[in-house]
Chain A
Amino acid sequence: MSIAALAAPDRPALVPAAENLCLHCGQALPAGAERFCCAGCAGAYRLIGELGLERFYDGRLLDVRARPLRPETDEASDVAAYVAAEAGDVKSLRLVVDGLQCPACVWLIENALAQQPHIIEARVNLTGKNLALRWRGDAAEGTRFVELVRRLGYRVSPYEAARAADRGLEDERRLLRALAVAGFAAANVMLLSISVWAGFNGDMGWATRDLMHWLSALIALPAIAYAARPFLGSAWRALRHRRTNMDVPISIGILLVSGYSLYQTILGGAETYFESATMLLFFLLIGRYLDLRARGKARAAVDHLLRLAAQPASVVGADGILRRLPAASVPVGATVLVAAGERILVDGRVSDGCSSVDKSLIDGESLPAAVAPGAIVHAGMINLDAPLRVTVTAAGEGTFLAEIVRLMEIAEHGRSRLVTLADRVAGYYAPAVHSLALATFIAWSLAASWQAGLLNAVSVLLITCPCALGLAIPAVQVVTSGRLMRRGILLKSATALERLAAIDAVVFDKTGTLTLGRLALQPCGIDEASLRIAAALAAASRHPLSRALRAACPDAPARAAVIEHPGEGLSAMLPEGEARLGSRRFCGTIDAPDDGLPELWLALPGRAPQRLVFADSLRPDAAEVIRALERDGKRVSLFSGDRPAVVEALAASLGIADWQAALTPDRKYALLAERTARGEKVLMVGDGLNDAPALAAATVSISPASGADVSQAAADVVFQGSSLAAVTEILAAARRSGRIVAENLGFALLYNLLAVPLAMAGLVTPLLAAVAMSASSIVVVANALRLEGGWR
């Protein structure tokens, strides 16, 4: 991610020593601060200096979109309970590290820990975002190491969601091992086969040829027995459930070709096909490994969500003492303290404190909502301004967040029954071919001898060997997804392309999908000088509106001595009097007409308060994309959780006639489920947590990479960047690849229609069958590779 950010034309903050940026975290300095934005960053910078690791600052790539590397001031949680004891007095601990951005972070953490006494090993995994620690001594020392990493600015929590992720890793390793064995066998058997073929014109003696065959068998058979297990296992499971899938003909093909080759070797026959069997296995395993790796991204997103729940909540005890408890085990009725900037981990009612909360993860609403005592908050919201005390009404599995995740899982379960095109084709193909082979065997056995019957039946199976069919669809998918990935579009699901090619309606979410999900200052007639003062004040705050104001006027110098009034606004003394920036109440304009848009008021001494209006800006090409979709004959709708007035205005400006507003997540899900049940093929594009169930219920779904992790987990396709044109691009790619798949299947059918009668008639020798088989595979792959060229 950081590399991509570096290559972008608008280079993000890369140089930490810039004038108004914090030396440690690289964020903008608040007013009056020098070098560091907070005491935590100053401490981290000093610590890194003491450790002699200053070069971290030269080597790192700051990703401005990631969480800033700002140490949090809360007390360290006790990790002693998670420490595992090994032989002797060696202890080990695995931790999830949040804030890892680039290899420099890996370097910093590993080297900082390596200097600590007693540490045996500290190893950071950047892909899995975790840290494995081993040390000699006391379990309680773990807390000290965790504290060190925390002081550097990273957030650390015990690695709890380990099991699911480890299972995926184990699958990946097993496939890699099979791939290595198949690759070894394919290369060596091919080496031997080529020497046999080279000696085919007669200058190789039969003894040498037999030796080659036996050597090939010796290499190929154990390798096939090992490396074909993924296919054999899947085929066996399908057959046991009285279904067929693509792995059934693949398995039968591999087993028969190996068996026949072994039979030929024992008889001292002229031809064996060990090289075909091992090559086929090798290529199919590559396809399967790439597929698994691609789906690992989805696994990581789900993993992240689980980790989010693993953060402990601060519970205020009856004696007033704070205790850190896992979020799921907070009792109902307890009081939880949520610091400013922290995520709320439970459902509850605010009992004390006034603040605003970012609800975007829950309902897609981009504006922060004000909360006061009595307001209801849900797990997953982020507290923005001031500390809140929340009385717990539900925690863990009972929260609204958990409810949404459950809804998504139900919807996904329904979709997992979808049969892929390849498996549907295999469903017709396998029985047809196998009964033809049987018919050939019976007919030849009756007419001639059973040996002739066996030979011709095997040649039928060889010539229809599912190479072409097995490659017809995966080759197209691999080429297309590789092509899309280079454009920042990730295909998560193997069947997404074929489902995308069939859709006839598109449903968009609003916030974060059609819009950028970021507030921007609207033109509202404020003069330049006042705007600069407002931006100078806003530099002191991390509130989203302040940040939007700052973005509108980035070169205004930050003002010193700004006082933040939590939940109200900011004030500062100018030479001519006090200037205020904040809510209408704070600036004394409570009577001004309210149109519900997010606003800030600026009260300058001696002048009437001026209003600054903000709006979520549209993605630059949203209107164009919607016009293109409608030209294509797709029915476009807009489903939003936002207020009707806002949604109506946006729908009108984009020319979307069919819109619905104020939808709850389960209502969205129900609407989508209803439409798909009617047989409509609906593409859902959405980003919020509230969209996740609907994304899973749609025929196929797309989510921007800026969306909530859980919606990315639910979506079939994830795209990066701010351009919505990715949607039309994905559809075009799906149509194109659908066409190539149809061509490939058509070719495979034509080939079989020509070859099978010849094989049944006994006119095709096994050698000819093998050549035809390879040629048909090459044609199919070459056709898929046409996708590589030809794109604009």
Chain B
Amino acid sequence: MNGLLLLIPVALALGLGGLAAFLWALKAGQFDDPDGAAGRILFDDPPPRNKASPHD
């Protein structure tokens, strides 16, 4: 029974962690563009020689 007292909070914490991660992802807009997000991973970043910093 002592194990239970440890395992229940652990299980709940893991579940809550997952829930929080999902809600954060949703809030951060990661579910706004399912089509684009699916394809984005297929493309590398452009060659660095042309990459300019946003402040110059």
A103 near B50 (CB under 8 angstroms)? Answer: no
The answer, yes or no, to whether A38 is at the interface (CB within 8 Å) is no
B56 near A117 (CB under 8 angstroms)? Answer: yes
Dominant SS at the B interface?
helix
Taking A115-B52, A124-B36, A188-B11 as contacts, is the C-beta distance between A180 and B42 under 8 angstroms? no
* Interface residues as binary, B31-46 with A (CB distance below 8 Å gives 1, 0 otherwise): 1111110111011111
B51 near A126 (CB under 8 angstroms)? Answer: no
Tell me which residues across on chain A come within 8 A of B36, comparing CB atoms. 103, 106, 124-127
From A169-177, A642-650, A694-702, the one touching the partner chain is: A169-177
The answer, yes or no, to whether A102 is at the interface (CB within 8 Å) is yes
The answer, yes or no, to whether A184 is at the interface (CB within 8 Å) is yes
* Interface residues as binary, A116-130 with B (CB distance below 8 Å gives 1, 0 otherwise): 111110001111100
The answer, yes or no, to whether A53 is at the interface (CB within 8 Å) is yes
A127 near B23 (CB under 8 angstroms)? Answer: no
A180 near B33 (CB under 8 angstroms)? Answer: no
Which of B19, B39, B42, B52 makes the CB contact (< 8 A) with A184? B19
A59 near B43 (CB under 8 angstroms)? Answer: yes
* Interface residues as binary, A49-68 with B (CB distance below 8 Å gives 1, 0 otherwise): 00111010001000000000
| Cα distance A35–B12 in the bound complex, in angstroms | 63
Which of A115, A119, A188 makes the CB contact (< 8 A) with B12? A188
Chain B's closest residue to A130 (CB) is B33
A52 near B33 (CB under 8 angstroms)? Answer: no
A102 near B33 (CB under 8 angstroms)? Answer: no
Which of B18, B40, B52 makes the CB contact (< 8 A) with A103? B40
The answer, yes or no, to whether A191 is at the interface (CB within 8 Å) is yes
| Cα distance A53–B42 in the bound complex, in angstroms | 15
A128 near B56 (CB under 8 angstroms)? Answer: no
Chain B's closest residue to A52 (CB) is B50
The answer, yes or no, to whether A234 is at the interface (CB within 8 Å) is no
| Cα distance A435–B1 in the bound complex, in angstroms | 46
Taking A52-B47, A119-B54, A184-B18 as contacts, is the C-beta distance between A173 and B26 under 8 angstroms? yes
A148 to chain B, nearest CB (A): 14
* Interface residues as binary, A173-198 with B (CB distance below 8 Å gives 1, 0 otherwise): 10011001100100110011001000
B32 near A125 (CB under 8 angstroms)? Answer: yes
| Cα distance A115–B33 in the bound complex, in angstroms | 23
| Residue in A115, A180, A195 with the greatest tally of chain B CB atoms within 10 Å | A180
B18 near A117 (CB under 8 angstroms)? Answer: no
| Residue in A104, A118, A188, A192 with the greatest tally of chain B CB atoms within 10 Å | A188
| Cα distance A169–B19 in the bound complex, in angstroms | 20
The answer, yes or no, to whether A728 is at the interface (CB within 8 Å) is no
Chain B's closest residue to A1 (CB) is B35
A106 near B39 (CB under 8 angstroms)? Answer: yes
Chain A's closest residue to B31 (CB) is A176
User: Which residues in chain B, 1-34, are within 8 Å of chain A measured between CB atoms?
Assistant: 1, 4, 8, 11-12, 15-16, 18-19, 22-23, 26, 31-34
Which of A55, A118, A128 makes the CB contact (< 8 A) with B33? A128
A107 to chain B, nearest CB (A): 4
Taking A52-B49, A59-B43, A118-B54 as contacts, is the C-beta distance between A184 and B16 under 8 angstroms? yes
User: Which residues in chain A, 145-181, are within 8 Å of chain B measured between CB atoms?
Assistant: 169, 173, 176-177, 180-181
Interface size on A, residues (CB 8 A): 39
| Cα distance A729–B46 in the bound complex, in angstroms | 46
The answer, yes or no, to whether A215 is at the interface (CB within 8 Å) is yes
Tell me which residues across on chain A come within 8 A of B8, comparing CB atoms. 192, 215
B43 near A128 (CB under 8 angstroms)? Answer: no
Tell me which residues across on chain A come within 8 A of B38, comparing CB atoms. 103
| Cα distance A790–B17 in the bound complex, in angstroms | 42
Tell me which residues across on chain A come within 8 A of B56, comparing CB atoms. 117
| Cα distance A116–B52 in the bound complex, in angstroms | 8
A51 near B50 (CB under 8 angstroms)? Answer: yes
Dominant SS at the A interface?
helix
Chain A's closest residue to B5 (CB) is A211
Tell me which residues across on chain A come within 8 A of B15, comparing CB atoms. 184, 187-188
Which of B32, B44, B45 makes the CB contact (< 8 A) with A169? B32
Chain A's closest residue to B14 (CB) is A188
Tell me which residues across on chain A come within 8 A of B18, comparing CB atoms. 184
Taking A120-B54, A188-B11 as contacts, is the C-beta distance between A180 and B32 under 8 angstroms? no
Chain B's closest residue to A176 (CB) is B26
The answer, yes or no, to whether A449 is at the interface (CB within 8 Å) is no
Tell me which residues across on chain A come within 8 A of B44, comparing CB atoms. 55
B11 to chain A, nearest CB (A): 6
Taking A127-B33, A184-B15 as contacts, is the C-beta distance between A103 and B47 under 8 angstroms? no
The answer, yes or no, to whether A722 is at the interface (CB within 8 Å) is no
B1 near A208 (CB under 8 angstroms)? Answer: yes
| Cα distance A106–B56 in the bound complex, in angstroms | 24
B33 near A177 (CB under 8 angstroms)? Answer: no
B22 to chain A, nearest CB (A): 5
Tell me which residues across on chain B come within 8 A of A117, comparing CB atoms. 52, 56
| Cα distance A126–B11 in the bound complex, in angstroms | 38
Tell me which residues across on chain A come within 8 A of B47, comparing CB atoms. 52
Tell me which residues across on chain B come within 8 A of A116, comparing CB atoms. 52
Tell me which residues across on chain A come within 8 A of B50, comparing CB atoms. 51-52, 115
B5 to chain A, nearest CB (A): 9
| Cα distance A169–B34 in the bound complex, in angstroms | 12
Tell me which residues across on chain B come within 8 A of A119, comparing CB atoms. 54
| Cα distance A181–B22 in the bound complex, in angstroms | 10
A89 to chain B, nearest CB (A): 13
Chain A's closest residue to B51 (CB) is A115
Tell me which residues across on chain B come within 8 A of A53, comparing CB atoms. 46
| Cα distance A104–B55 in the bound complex, in angstroms | 26
| Cα distance A126–B45 in the bound complex, in angstroms | 18
| Cα distance A188–B8 in the bound complex, in angstroms | 9
Tell me which residues across on chain A come within 8 A of B34, comparing CB atoms. 127
The answer, yes or no, to whether A264 is at the interface (CB within 8 Å) is no
| Residue in A53, A111, A136 with the greatest tally of chain B CB atoms within 10 Å | A111
Tell me which residues across on chain B come within 8 A of A125, comparing CB atoms. 32-33, 36
| Cα distance A177–B22 in the bound complex, in angstroms | 8
Chain B's closest residue to A115 (CB) is B52
User: Which residues in chain A, 188-217, are within 8 Å of chain B measured between CB atoms?
Assistant: 188, 191-192, 195, 208, 215
A111 near B46 (CB under 8 angstroms)? Answer: yes
Taking A120-B54, A127-B32, A173-B26 as contacts, is the C-beta distance between A103 and B19 under 8 angstroms? no
Tell me which residues across on chain A come within 8 A of B45, comparing CB atoms. 111
B43 near A107 (CB under 8 angstroms)? Answer: yes
* Interface residues as binary, A214-254 with B (CB distance below 8 Å gives 1, 0 otherwise): 01000100000000000000000000000000000000000
| Cα distance A191–B54 in the bound complex, in angstroms | 50
Extra 10 A-B pairs, beta carbons < 8 Å, given A125-B36, A184-B19: A52-B49, A59-B42, A103-B36, A103-B39, A103-B43, A125-B32, A126-B35, A176-B31, A180-B19, A208-B1
| 19 interchain pairs, CB-CB under 8 A | A51-B46, A51-B50, A55-B46, A107-B40, A115-B52, A118-B54, A119-B54, A124-B36, A173-B26, A176-B26, A177-B26, A184-B19, A187-B15, A188-B11, A188-B12, A188-B15, A208-B1, A208-B4, A219-B12
Report the 3 A-B pairs with minimum CB-CB distance, sorted nearest first: A103-B39, A126-B36, A52-B50
